[in-house]
Amino acid sequence: MDVVRQAIMYLLLVAAFYGVVLAMKALSRVQVPSGYNAVENLTEYTSYRLDRTVVFTAWKPGDAICWRLGPDAERAVNFGWVAALPGDRVQIREGHLEVNGKRNPKGELIPLPDCGPIRVPERHLFVINDRHQGDSIAYGPLPASALRGRMGSLP
């Protein structure tokens, strides 16, 4: 009986540890780096809530998102919105991004002539920010491994 009681206690301890780890991932925060201006109204050094528990299939167009373009600090933090999911048709028409034929309202005019459509590849997202710095207009569709998490909100 003692063995069973001890086993249950250890299991509860492991579950509690896992719960704490999950809570830390869900409630973590990310700081806007110095000089970052790809999204309007983001203040440098301000921290925002970042949910790192989001699975790839849970992303929806319009979600505020944080991603990284590389392991170095300079490219580690980028903000914007999900514009298109895997399989969506993305094109540029008259300086605006269109996803499956519908105009995406986010971001400034894109300095490119009409191009596309392309399909967003499997396990990739097309992300966009106001000034198209470090987003999919500049870097192409982002792989799932580059996504850091869902932001609570962006101004």
Question: Which residues bind to another protein, rule: CB under 8 A?
Answer: 68-71, 75, 86-87, 90-92, 111-116, 118-124, 137-143, 145-146
Q: Which is nearer to another protein, 49 or 96 (CB)?
A: 96
Looking at the Cβ atoms of 137 and 154, the one nearer to another protein is 137
Q: CB-wise, 18 or 152, nearer to another protein?
A: 18
CB of 142 vs another protein, minimal distance in Å: 8
User: How many Cα neighbours within 13 Å face the side chain of 42?
Assistant: 27
CA atoms within a 13 Å half-sphere pointing along the CA-CB vector of 90 = 23
Check: CB of residue 48 under 8 Å from CB of residue 151: yes
Q: How far is the CB of 110 from another protein (least distance, A)?
A: 10
When the beta carbons of 35 and 113 are compared against another protein, the nearer one is 113
Chain center to CA of 15: 28
Least separation, in Å, of the C-beta of 74 and another protein? Answer: 11
Residue 51 in 3-state DSSP?
strand
Which residue lies nearer to another protein by CB, 75 or 131?
A: 75
Gap between the Cα atoms of 79 and 129, Å rounded:
7
Residue 1: other Cβ atoms inside 10 A: 5
> Rounded to the nearest whole angstrom, what is the least distance from the CB of residue 1 to another protein in the complex?
14
Contact 104, 153 (CB under 8 A): no
